Amino acid sequence: MAQTFEPNLIGFLCNWCSYAAADLAGSNKLEVPANLATIRVMCSSRVDPIFILNAYLRGIDGVIIAGCHPGDCHYQTGNYYARRRFALLSKILKTFNLDPHRFRLSWISASEGQRFSQVTKEFAESIQKAGPNPLRKKPFID
Amino acid sequence: MKGKIIKNSDNINTKIREILESLISKQIFDAVFVPVRVPTGESFTYLLIKDKNILKDCIPLPPIMSVQGARAFKDLTRLGKLKYKILCVMRPCEIRAMIELSKLRQVTLEDVSFLSLDCPGVYQTADYIIEPEKYDKSFSSLLEKWEPEGLRPNCRVCNHFSNQEINSDLHIGFYDQSLILVPLTKKGEEIFTSLGFESTDDLADWENRKNELLRRREEIRNKTFTELHNQTNGMEGLENFFKGCINCHNCMRVCPICYCRQCFFESTDQLRRESEDYLIRTEKKGGIRFPVDRMLFHLGRMTHMSLSCVGCGVCEDGCPMDIPVGQIFNFIGDEVQKMFEYLPGRDKDEPIPVLTYKEDELHEYEDAQETK
Ligand code: SF4
Ligand code: SF4
Ligand code: FES
């Protein structure tokens, strides 16, 4: 079971940096996890914690939010707000002991195709070790 | 601390009314915003009052909180700042919610002054409406005894029941059949002097008792929060906690902080979906419950407003299923507020933590690879 489990991952990628990095990784034929669904957002600050919770409650195994490095946000400060919101969400998840290890925030610039591949692979491996999201088969919890 | 002690104030409502009447007579304020008993007798509402004759019926400190003061106030400044001066007479948690709403730009506090009152807590509305006379009676002795029994659960653990760290202008405390007046701001100082008072009385007795009450409250608070924490461990614990929830969203509708005209969870984006969408979700989960997104609603609401939760407990009071929803929001609010060293309602110029940032902070959340 452990060897065959391919985690379902969602990546919220900011248009200006991390999405471009994913593109670059693709055109350079770098390896990325097979089941990573990417969602392009204009800025990491567009990601409401509800999006992340929604994915989690529906049974997604891991969610990664990626944006421009601090100081490089296309809208100047969006990623600083994104970091605060992510910290807030993490605190809530940790307090209720709700799989905080299934969520990750990373900064990946447009030129970092290599880093994109490495970060997502690393994330997929850690989720693989953690196993599937138990909420997947819980119809009463949504 | 110094202030003014008014002795022999066994009926506090009467004494406060006199003060309010005098403020209107002296034209310090054009109107006051204060709770009044409704004519049928079993409930209370806020009234904006200009007329001194109607002011005679106000109950500044009612035994229940049928509506949160900040929620009631909201409509007043929908179109911008007031064109007259008012005094809001509220419990501390209501003023805190007002301050939070001003930070969220839902109310404008220009020309609004606050009179806060020592609050021993409120009864649960559902209990009160069955035996109003009994609760009216026991409420009058509550200010002497300050017993937690029978109160709204959040009031039993409240640690901001007086003038503790609050953005109010003038405070009235109660002690030993006396009214204790303490100006807290420059504005409050002006109101205070206009009433002909001077800060000459020593308030040590009142303060000592307040600190003793606080110590007792903190004890219950810590114990309760530990229990809540244990009860809500993991999704199983959380689901068990909310097991009776019918997803009616009443808790959100009565909450003073939840201001969105249309909540995300009731938005067309969230609710008008193609039927296939639901079927896809069913395939993955085996089935989905309707109405949808119940746990998402609670956890999502926590991410949206817990930093500003004032722990008033009206959500729990309004829950038809007796879910301890106010307690869990109070608990998680306390956790996230401590994390950002934030206290709602402490200072109107202190920004809500998600509406501000520091460049160099929270690095422990970047690339964090928590392992199970
Ligand atoms: S969540 Fe409940 S306790 Fe917190 S402010 Fe809203 S109504 Fe009050
Ligand atoms: S907690 Fe109570 S008020 Fe809130 S949605 Fe559930 S049943 Fe309704
Ligand atoms: S535009 Fe990339 S994080 Fe804001």
Q: What is the pLDDT of residue B298?
A: 98
Pocket test of ligand 2: the residue of B232, B246, B254, B332 to mutate, having most ligand atoms within 8 Å of its CB, is B246
Selecting from A83, A90, A104 the residue whose C-beta is nearest the C-beta of B369 gives A104
Write out the two tokens for B182: 């303490």
Model confidence over B349-361: pLDDT tens digits? 999 999 999 999 9
| Angstrom distance (rounded) from CA B148 to CA B164 | 19
Residue A133 pLDDT > 70: yes
Centroid of ligand 3 to alpha carbon of A84 (angstroms) = 14
B260 touches A: beta carbon within 8 Å = no
Task: State in Å: Cα B310 to ligand 1 middle.
Answer: 6
A109 near B CB under 8 A: no
For the CA atoms of B30, B35, B36, B37, the dihedral, rounded to the nearest 10 degrees, stands at 180
Contact: B357, A84; criterion CB under 8 Å: yes
Indicate which residue's Cα is closest to atom 4 of ligand 1.
Answer: B309
Kindly indicate the confidence band of residue B9, based on its pLDDT and cuts at 50, 70 and 90.
confident
| Contacting A residues, span 15-44, partner chain B, CB-CB under 8 Å | none
Q: Where are the domains of chain B?
A: 2-210, 225-365
| CB within 8 Å: A95 and B335 | yes
Per-residue confidence (pLDDT) for residue B270, from 0 to 100:
76
User: Which residues between 280 and 319 in chain B have a beta carbon less than 8 angstroms from any beta carbon of chain A?
Assistant: 281, 284-289, 292-296, 299-300, 302-304, 306-307
For residues B237-260, give the mean pLDDT: 96
Domain boundaries in chain A?
Answer: 9-130
pLDDT at B272: 83
Query: What is the rounded average pLDDT of the residues B287-304?
Result: 95
Cα Rg of chain B, angstroms: 22
CB of A91 within 8 Å of a chain B CB? The answer is yes
Q: Within 10 A of B182 (CB to CB), how many other CB atoms are there?
A: 23
How far B319 CA lies from chain A's nearest CA (Å)?
A: 20
Residue B247 and residue B289 in contact, taking contact as beta carbons nearer than 8 Å: no
Instruction: Tell whether A53 is within 8 A of chain B (Cβ).
Output: yes
pLDDT tier for residue B369 given thresholds of 50, 70 and 90: low
**Per-residue pLDDT tens for B200-231?**
999 999 999 999 999 999 999 999 999 999 99
Beta strands per DSSP E along chain A: 9-14, 36-41, 62-67, 103-107
Closest alpha carbon within chain B to A54: B296
CATH code, residues A9-130: 3.40.50
User: Which of B352, B359, B369, B371 is the best mutation test for A, with the most CBs of A within 10 A?
Assistant: B369
Please tell me the distance from the alpha carbon of residue A92 to that of residue A56, in angstroms, as a whole number. 14
Query: Quick check: CB of A68 below 6 Å from ligand 3?
Result: yes
pLDDT band at residue B308 under the 50/70/90 scheme: very high
Question: Residue range B186-206: average pLDDT?
Answer: 96
* pLDDT for res A1: 47
Q: Which residues of B touch A71 (CB under 8 A)?
A: 359
Using DSSP's 3-state secondary structure scheme, residue A141 falls into coil
Residues 6+ apart with CB under 8 A from B211: none
As a whole number, the mean pLDDT across chain A is 95
Q: Which residues of B touch A48 (CB under 8 A)?
A: 264, 303
Distance from the CA of B319 to the center of ligand 2, in angstroms?
Answer: 5
- Give per-residue pLDDT as tens, A34-63: 999 999 999 999 999 999 999 999 999 999
* Neighbour-count burial of A45, counting CB atoms closer than 10 A to its CB (0-12 exposed, 13-18 middle, 19+ buried): buried
